[in-house]
A and B are shown apart, each in its own frame.
Chain A
């Protein structure tokens, strides 16, 4: 049973992996700092670890899909991320692909 649980948790992790990028791009249409985003995703039932999400934000920024800005006017400095024009386009296409995938998979598993 423990072996099966381990197998299942690995499969669930694989399923979630690609969806985090989709969620992040969709949520960052307005500027947010990293922990703010972790909390928002968590509240929506998407578990994204902070130690995974922060490096992911940097990777998306290096790919030109996000841009960042350090906000120092608040009590503590925070780095805010927002989606770029290129990121917006990629997000729209990715969302469309996601909807199509969900429809196709649902048809197969008989939802």
Chain B
């Protein structure tokens, strides 16, 4: 190259090589850089034949054009770089499950917001209705959006990790791993899973955001609304409700993916139900979530002088224990049903 062209040509080569290697993983980058420089040099030598020193700026341009754009060359050196984050089998399940999770959980937050707004009277009255709706959305929209984003991000990360770790979501790799055709009572309808998710999400949203609006009506001389829950204690235990919801969400999501009572559904349901029982026991026994006002009203309305007086008095004096027992009973029914239907502990057919 002549001096001016050499300086410009070399700069062009430097820029091209930099543009290629910056797109590559750090490991092996130096070696590839040396290799590309060596290749460019050989190609320039061939263009100029006996006088390689006479290579011009145009020769450099032609050689670099022959090598393709930096992105094209980088893609050839790193074919995995263009690999999608989620490949076919995982992406199909992801597309089916994630929109349901995002919509259901965001809707639950929206519903909790509506309940609170109605109970606070923000949406009543013709004059204040529009202002109330505007105020409602300005208050709740950020929460709904951030919930949707958080669910989307968490689910996406889960699926990416599942693929990277080779977790079997519903990927049948050969004839021997084909799923058994489920009998009629082993099929799980998507609607029941969506209902389970929605129910859990609504209850969790209400408990975490506006537990004060779960009320009972006392009908005496006048109708009186009595809060059932100790709002402060319930709201302060948001992590407990969130954990319970997450266990339930995992259980319903696995059911949604498999679509029938597979062994995986049985094992997941059993684990989720046992963990839920433990978390519920810790929470329910540590704090009294039932409001004193509600207990007093219930006790006063029951005839404590009758023949079952002692039993009734005992039930209402330890309402948290009774609630926990009912909760655990419901979970155990779910666990036993799942274990039996999935034939978890029976030998494979």
Contact = CB atoms under 8 A, between A and B. Distances in A.
Interface residues of B, number: 20
Contacts, number: 46
Interface stretch (B66-74, B142-150, B175-183, B235-243): B66-74
Q: Which 6 residue pairs across A and B have the least CB separation, nearest first?
A: A35-B42, A55-B76, A55-B77, A51-B67, A51-B68, A51-B73
B160 to A, nearest CB: 24
Interface string A69-91: 01000001111000000000000
A77 B38 contact: yes
20 contacts: A33-B38, A33-B42, A34-B35, A34-B38, A34-B39, A34-B42, A35-B38, A35-B39, A35-B42, A35-B43, A50-B66, A51-B72, A51-B73, A51-B76, A54-B35, A54-B76, A55-B76, A55-B79, A76-B38, A79-B35
Given A34-B35, A35-B42, A55-B79, 20 more contacts: A33-B38, A33-B42, A34-B38, A35-B38, A35-B39, A35-B46, A49-B66, A50-B39, A51-B66, A51-B67, A51-B68, A52-B76, A54-B35, A54-B36, A54-B39, A58-B28, A58-B32, A58-B77, A76-B41, A79-B38
Nearest to B78: A55
A34 B72 CA distance: 19
Interface residues on A, range: 10 to 19
B34 interface: yes
A63 to B, nearest CB: 13
Interface in B48-72: 66-68, 72
Contacts of A51: 66-68, 72-73, 76
A55 B68 CA distance: 13
B272 to A, nearest CB: 43
Contacts of B42: 33-35
A83 B176 CA distance: 39
A49 B66 CA distance: 9
Interface string A30-74: 000111000100000000011110110010000000000010000
Contacts of A34: 35, 38-39, 42
A28 B336 CA distance: 65
User: Which among A34, A49, A54 has the highest number of chain B CB atoms within 10 Å?
Assistant: A54
Contacts of A35: 38-39, 42-43, 46
Contacts of B35: 34, 54, 58, 79
Contacts of B34: 70, 77, 79
Contacts of B28: 58
Contacts of A50: 39, 43, 66-67
A79 B35 CA distance: 7
Nearest to A35: B42
Nearest to A59: B79
Contacts of B32: 58
Contacts of A54: 35-36, 39, 76-77
Interface in B269-288: none
Contacts of B67: 50-51
A60 to B, nearest CB: 13
B83 to A, nearest CB: 15
A104 B59 CA distance: 46
B43 to A, nearest CB: 7
